[in-house]
Amino acid sequence: MNRPCLPWIRSCVLAASLLPWVAVADDPAIATDSAADTPPATSDTTSLDEIRRFVSVFRAVQEGYVDPVDDATLMRAAIRGLLLDLDPHSAYLDADQSRALNEAASGAYAGLGLEVIQQPDRSLLVIAPIDDTPAARAGIRSGDVITAIDGKPIEADGVDAAIDAMRGPVGSQARLTVMRDSSREPLQFTLTRETIRVSSVRTRLLEPGYAYLRIATFQANTGLDLERKLKDTIAQNDAPLKGLVLDLRSNPGGLLNTAVEAADAFLDEGVIVSTRGRLSHSHSEMTAHKGDLLDGAPIAILVDGGTASAAEVLAGALRDHRRALVLGSPTFGKGSVQTVLPLDNGDSIKVTTARYYTPNGTSIQATGIVPDVMLESRLDTYADDDDYLPPTLRERDLPGHLRGDGEDLEPVADPTVIPIQPVARPEELDDSGVREALNLLKGLSVFRDTPPRG
């Protein structure tokens, strides 16, 4: 047994427990906040009692566990447990998982193309499959629950470790066992891993004067791709656009700064998003710069339960500035910011440090964005039988999620929400949601182009 390690553990835990308090105390902005934002007063005796309890547990496991476990493994497990109990999005990442996270943000990695969250029983809830990836082509859907990989129950602790288990060499296969609300028996999917090169932006003309813009996820180059491809589409039209359908359905989010760049492309001024946390660097406000690519032409945004995080930031910013109407179903409701902090051994921790707020000061955490126009779900796209209902799980349903500002309030019917029945899918468009958005844009453009009567 390695007894000399115990004083080191005690001093490290003590230092770690005090560091956040020092940061808060040194932050004058936070010092003026409400008592809820101030750490509770804790005596040295209480802190030492907690540290002694940790050391006692460490000793008991070290001495009594059925197999020998080295100190480093126990400490990593303790750190993982510390983060795992905070919220569904905080996690400890080893060096390989840290590299994988960077690869995913760059848009090129080997895998299946799934955005997932781990549930308390270690199963994986699918937020959304990424467009044109093995998972999307195989028919995996938002709301599916992955219970086993290659016939083995998921053992990974933490969503990033579970994602790592689904990765492997390009060309190798992974067999996923999936539970679906509409199926009485587990479904089996065999997917071939490939290099996921996500083209996050896709545009096309729906008809003269009206364009379609699809953003599948927010990567490092999304902002630049959006500007380039949208300008090309405008040039194809040979005239300024009269309206844009912006499709954010099943967009799981991604990098906040690229969502801000996307919003900036359609705004001339004003706040795009603000973040608020306990530390000074968690407080920020990002604003737009002059240069609306559409010169004020109306935008119709399509969203659903798979629209999350950075995608919700974009939708919220354009709606608050009255640049867009939102159509579809309520979004996922992930309104929190995760910061990745590298460690000296190549590992890192991903910890929730702030909440997002839309320009009007509204938090979307656990509440999401309720569309201005509710559209019926595309049951023909998803249903296996007549009893199927689309998944309704949101951020607020995840155990341990951050509480939203308005989460405990009873929902109030919004008299401005317009219930619209989707029309039959036309052959020239992708789906009924896009058709509804196009019809709405045509109506808005009529009022925009009609001069006021004198």
**CA–CA dist 103, 170 (Å, integer):** 15
Residue with tokens 């001093």: 11
pTM, entire model: 0.75
106 an active-site residue? no
- Letter for the amino acid at 73? T
What are the backbone angles phi and psi of residue 344, rounded to the nearest 5°? -70, -15
Q: Are 219 and 200 in contact (CB under 8 A)?
A: yes
Query: So what's the pLDDT on residue 341?
Result: 92
Domain boundaries, the chain: 5-69, 108-197, 201-383+396-405+412-449
85 an active-site residue? no
**CA–CA dist 306, 120 (Å, integer):** 20
Fold of the domain built from segment(s) 201-383+396-405+412-449: 2-enoyl-CoA Hydratase; Chain A, domain 1 (3.90.226)
320 an active-site residue? yes
Query: So what's the pLDDT on residue 416?
Result: 55
Query: So what's the pLDDT on residue 177?
Result: 96
**CA–CA dist 360, 317 (Å, integer):** 9
Task: Spell 348-375 as b/e; 16+ CB within 10 A means b.
Answer: bbbbbbbbbbbbeebbbbbbbbebbbbb
Catalytic residue among 142, 320, 348, 372: 320
Catalytic residue among 309, 329, 348, 377: 309
- Nearest CA to 84 among 339, 309, 350, 336? 350
Task: Give strand pairing partners of 11.
Answer: none
Residues 6+ apart with CB under 8 A from 351: 83, 86, 90, 338, 339, 341
Query: So what's the pLDDT on residue 312?
Result: 98
Residue 424's SS3 state is coil
Catalytic residue among 200, 225, 250, 334: 334
Distances in Å between the Cα of 292 and the Cα atoms of 217, 246, 266, 298 are 22, 15, 4, 11
Per-residue pLDDT of the chain (454 residues), as tens digits, is 444 343 333 333 322 332 332 222 223 333 333 333 444 444 556 688 889 999 999 999 999 999 999 999 999 899 988 998 899 899 999 888 888 888 777 767 889 999 898 888 899 999 888 888 999 999 999 889 999 999 999 988 778 888 888 988 999 999 999 999 888 899 999 999 999 877 899 999 999 999 999 999 999 899 999 999 999 999 999 899 999 999 999 899 999 999 999 999 999 999 999 999 998 888 999 999 999 999 999 999 999 999 999 999 999 999 999 999 999 999 999 999 999 999 998 999 999 999 999 999 999 999 999 999 999 765 444 334 444 444 456 677 776 778 777 666 655 555 555 554 444 433 336 578 888 899 899 888 766 665 654 4
Query: So what's the pLDDT on residue 411?
Result: 53
What are the backbone angles phi and psi of residue 15, rounded to the nearest 5°? -60, -45
* 108-197 and 201-383+396-405+412-449 agree in CATH topology: no
The CATH code for residues 108-197 is 2.30.42.10
